[in-house]
Structure formats: structure tokens, C-alpha cells
Amino acid sequence: MKKTWISIGLVLVFLLGGGTCYYVAERESKKSKAIVYHKHITEKDYDVIVVGGEPEGVSAAVSAARNGMRVLFLEKRNALGGLMTFGMLNYLDIPQNEKGDVVSAGLFKEWRDMVGGDKVNTVDIDEAKQAFLQLVQQEPNITLSLTTEVIKPIMNGNKITGVVAKDEKGVHTYTAKRMIDATIDGDVAVMAGASYFVGQEDIGKSDKMAATLMIHLHHVDWEKVKQAAKEGVFGGGGATDTAAWGFHKVLTAYEETEPNTNVRGLNIGRTKNGDVYINALQLFDVDGLNEESKKTALDIGEKETKSFVKWLNNSFSGFEEATIASVPDELYIRETRHISSLFQLPVHDLWENRHHWDDVAIGSYPSDIQATNKGNTGTIVLDPNQYGIPFRSLVPKEVNNLLVASKASVFTTCSTRT
């Protein structure tokens, strides 16, 4: 299922607030051009604390600030955008309903307009990071603290009232009237005692969907790629000035060199700068909750990337001079935890294109299950028109004063990008 940005603004209007951001110093990251801001945070109590710099976290923080809340925004990485920027998952499938209306609107549209608008399929990574940062910086009610990791929650019974966090200046305690967990894996919710299931355990399956390492290339002749799609090379596909997709016969034409890897049909995006990104390399049996497992998979994926690009050089028109531009910092892990919530969005709500009385977001994209091993290719379960995601799906059962706004929100089907 396409992951949907969660807009929290509608559910925060009952809070009160005002405040100021503090930006003190900056330096450049070793692995990217993103600026790291180190804060001297003078305030310790806020209306809302948002943890997690994923797009959902940006949306939650900005929505809260625009509704008058004093917001503390904590992110452990050195820039915003999460998986989209650090995993280089920057290919934008803009979900539309049967009328052709784009259903991912609101703050997501504001961000898209900053990076090129609805007609752009692939965005530049550094431009994407800067746009996320700009959305946050322009809100005076947000205090942003990057390179800051939450160590533990502050609990009063089953009510979360704040967090203990560590940055480069030490350990700090922050409190708030409301908390929002926008981490990929629902880390804050789990530390606070929320129950959860992993992957497809809710339907009795322990299989893990494939993880993906994105492939970032320079020196691709895009006109040749478009022509290859038109001429049916490796099964052909579709192509525009910014994207190409299909080429399903690559699956059988290319022979992998590393264990537990597979290259499927290609989803290819091209930025305005000529950078090319390919979503195709699958890595199996990766435990997204285990750092060692992810590190091993990254190493294997990097080796397989080298082999695959060499094959592209010799076998695919347009890639003769292609070189690896960089390797992502993170894997695309399609799902890990799903926090048990007041309402688990069932798959039949997608079949019925159902909306709910407390919807806070709209989804519209084919619901799919990715391959779990080399013996299967995955499947598209259904292709809804549009459906609603209710507020109750963001509320953990066991923890009060907390919303979970990420792919760790509870669905009975998989919540992923494809």
C-alpha cells in the first residue's frame, strides 16, 4: 500500500501555544550537503513534542505549529525527510482517484510545489531535504533539534508526558501536553508500553517482504532509455522525461551474484540534474528491527549493485557509461511494527473505498505485497479509488496522550511504498 502522509492539524486544535525557535550553529554533514543545526534549547516544556523527521513528522510538526502550538521537533538524523531522503526513495507516485484528482494534498502539496510540482516524478535528494527544512524553519512555533535521539519516555501511569533525549550537548528532559511518534518503527510508542505486531503476523504469516537498496547513477543516456522502453527492450515499458518503468524481463535476464538478492522489473527516476535512481534491487530475510541485520544487508546490497551496474553497462541501451554516484545510507524497509490502535484499518475498507467519521488523511494507491523470497514476485491485492484513514488508527490502545503518525500506525494490510 502506498504510504500516506498523515495530517495531524485537525486533531490538535484543542491545544494552546506560542513559542520561538533557537538556531545557534551549523556544520556540514560528512555524507550529505544537509545542514545540521545544534540548538541551545532554553525551553523544556511544550504543547506538542514530535519525534521522527519522516515526512509524516514534518507534517505533524508544521500542522501543530500552524494551529498555535509550541512544538519541539526531535530527529536523530542530521536532516529531515527520513526514508525518502536517506533511503533515496525519492520517486513520487502521486496518488489520484478515478476522477484524476490528486488526493495527497495539504502539506504534501506544499512540499511538492517546492521541489517541482505534481508533474515531477523524481526529486533531487538535497533539494528535498532543504524543502522539508524550509517548511519547518518558516514556522516560528517550532524548535527543531536534529542529531537528537530519544532515550526513554516520561510516564505517569500509562500516560506519556515527555521524553528524555540525548544530543551532542548531553542528556535533556522535555515535557509536553501531547506527544506524536512519527518514527518509522513506532519506537516511542513501544518504549511507552504500546503493544504491536510485526509485518504480516496479524494474518498468521512470519514472512518478511523484501527490503530494497536504491541504486543512484550518473552518466545515463536518458533518450536511449526512453527509446529502449518504446522498442520493447527487456519487455519494454513506459517512459517520460523524468521516469521509466517496466522492463520486467530483467528479472530473468540478470543473474544475481550475492545470496538472498533479486532484481525485479525496473522503476527508474531521473532528476532535473540528470541523476538517475532505480528501485529494483530486492534483499530478502532482512530484520528491519535489527541493526546488524540491516548493516549486513546494506553490505550485500552494495556488492550486488556493483554487479548489476556492470551488467547494465554491457546489456542495456542508455546505461553504457553509467557509474554509481553514491550508495544510500539506509535500506528501504517496507514494514516492521504496527502499533495496536483503537481502530485497525481493515483491507475491506480499501475494497469498499470507505471513509470514516474521523478521517484525517486520504489514501489512493494499489495495495501490494512485495516478494518474500526469490520464488515469488509479490502481488497487487487491490486497486482502490480512494479511502480514508481515521484518527482512531493513530491512537495506541495502551498509551494515553500519544499519536502514532507513520507506517507504524496500525493497518491490517501492509503500509508501504512500492
Q: Give the model confidence (pLDDT) of 70-126 as tens digits.
A: 999 999 999 999 999 999 999 888 888 899 888 888 898 999 999 988 777 889 999
Instruction: Say if residues 102 and 349 touch (Cβ distance below 8 Å).
Output: no
**Residues in contact with 43: Cβ distance below 8 Å, sequence separation at least 6, in sequence order:** 19, 70, 72, 143
Does the pLDDT value for residue 17 go beyond 50? no
At residue 412, the pLDDT reads 64
Give the residue, 386 or 92, on which the prediction is more confident: 386
* CA gap 84, 6 in Å, rounded: 15
Q: What count of Cα atoms within 13 Å lies in the side-chain half-sphere of residue 184?
A: 22
Q: Are 97 and 103 in contact (CB under 8 A)?
A: yes
- 196, 269 Cβ separation under 8 angstroms: no
Q: Taking a C-beta distance cutoff of 8 angstroms, is the pair 79, 34 a contact?
A: yes
Is 149 in a helix, a strand, or coil? Answer: strand
Q: What is the mean pLDDT of the chain?
A: 88
pLDDT score of 14: 30
What are the cell numbers at 162?
Answer: 515527555
The pLDDT value given to residue 27: 31
> What pLDDT score does 40 carry?
56
Given a contact cutoff of 8 angstroms between Cβ atoms, the answer to whether 229 and 247 are in contact is yes
CB contact burial 50-76 (16+ within 10 A = b; e otherwise):
bbbbbbbbbbbbbbbbbbebbbbbbbb
Q: For 258-282, what is the mean pLDDT?
A: 96
CA angle centred on 281, ends 53 and 241, rounded to 5°? 80
On whether the CB atoms of residues 177 and 15 are closer than 8 A, the answer is yes
Strand partners, 156: 159
Which grid cell sits at 158?
Answer: 500509562
The grid cell for 12 is: 490538535
* Average pLDDT score over residue span 361-380: 85
CA–CA distance, 37 with 28 (Å, rounded to integer): 9
Least confident of 203-217, 249-263, 277-291, 390-404: 203-217
- How far CA 270 is from CA of 122, 266, 331, in Å, comes to 6, 13, 20
Average pLDDT over residues 215-223: 98
- Per the DSSP assignment, residues forming a β-bridge with 51 are 74, 181
Domains, the chain, in order of start with CATH, read 9-199+336-404 (3.50.50.60), 211-326 (3.30.70)
Band (43; pLDDT cuts 50, 70, 90):
confident
Sequence-distant (≥ 6) Cβ neighbours of residue 30 within 8 angstroms: none
Question: Whole-model pTM?
Answer: 0.88
Q: Which three cell numbers stand for residue 269?
A: 527516476
Residue that wins the pLDDT comparison between 98 and 191: 191
- Quickly tell me which residue has 503518525 as its cell: 405
**φ/ψ (deg, to 5) at 391:** -55, -35
